[in-house]
């Protein structure tokens, strides 16, 4: 058990039987009243985001997730299938639980999945992913001095702003935390 005062970004807690990851927190102290901890939480099973307020003394159940290395296999409708590299089990996660991480998934990509009591909860992406550009407008010669960018669609459907010199067929490195272009590979 941890107090609400000890909540930090990334902390996973159990509230009313549901698992939540702390996305943001703020301690607020009012003049005459008691202090509050305002927290933004994301439900790990449904992906819904909620805002909650706690008193600093409120006790919450701290949850430890087990991370396992997996390989992304395929998609079947709304489910995304992975293979545990040690046991060869194939856990599945719904598109709703994966959220925006779907845009960074490539076939045979190795990543980590967090498990809670043998249930796959969420995907932990690597910091960067290399993706091939499938469509982008051609850059106009001479426009590179301004540092201009253009939209480029990658093999996973992710649209990224790239410099004008990037062409179709190029492989680019994208930051999975922000979704921004880093470099051409």
Dihedral angle over CA of 74, 79, 83, 88, nearest 10: -120
Domains 66-124 and 128-184 belong to one CATH topology:
yes
Is the alpha carbon torsion for 108, 94, 151, 112 positive or negative? Answer: negative
Question: pLDDT at position 98, please?
Answer: 82
CATH topology of domain 2-62: SH3 type barrels. (2.30.30)
Sign of CA dihedral 44, 46, 52, 57: negative
pLDDT at 121: 83
Q: What is the pTM of this model?
A: 0.72
128-184 has which CATH code? Answer: 2.40.50.140
Domain borders along the chain are 2-62, 66-124, 128-184
Q: Which run of H or E residues covers position 94?
A: strand 92-94
* Of 164, 174, 158, nearest in space to 140 by CA: 164
Instruction: Give 15-55 pLDDT, tens digit per residue.
Output: 988 899 898 989 888 777 778 889 999 888 877 889 999 98
- List the chain residues with pLDDT less than 50: none
Best CATH choice for the domain 66-124 from the list 3.40.50.620, 2.40.50.140, 3.30.43.10, 3.20.20.70: 2.40.50.140
3-state secondary structure of 143: helix
């Amino acid at each position: 058990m941890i107090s609400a005062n000890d909540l930090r970004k990334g902390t996973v807690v159990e509230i009313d039987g549901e698992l939540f990851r702390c996305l943001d927190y703020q301690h607020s102290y009012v003049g005459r009243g008691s202090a509050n901890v305002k927290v933004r939480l994301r439900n790990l099973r449904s992906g819904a985001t909620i805002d909650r307020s706690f008193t600093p003394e409120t006790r919450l159940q701290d949850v430890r997730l087990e991370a396992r290395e997996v390989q992304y296999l395929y998609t079947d409708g709304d489910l995304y299938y992975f293979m545990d590299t040690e046991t060869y089990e194939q856990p599945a996660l719904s598109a709703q639980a994966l959220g925006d991480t779907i845009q960074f998934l490539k076939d045979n990509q190795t990543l980590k999945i967090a498990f809670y009591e043998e249930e796959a909860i969420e995907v932990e992406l690597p910091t960067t992913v290399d993706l091939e550009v499938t469509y982008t407008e051609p850059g106009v010669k001479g426009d590179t001095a301004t540092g201009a960018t253009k939209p480029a669609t990658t093999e996973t459907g992710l649209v990224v702003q790239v410099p004008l010199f990037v062409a179709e067929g190029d492989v680019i490195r994208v930051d999975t935390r922000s979704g921004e272009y880093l470099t051409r590979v």
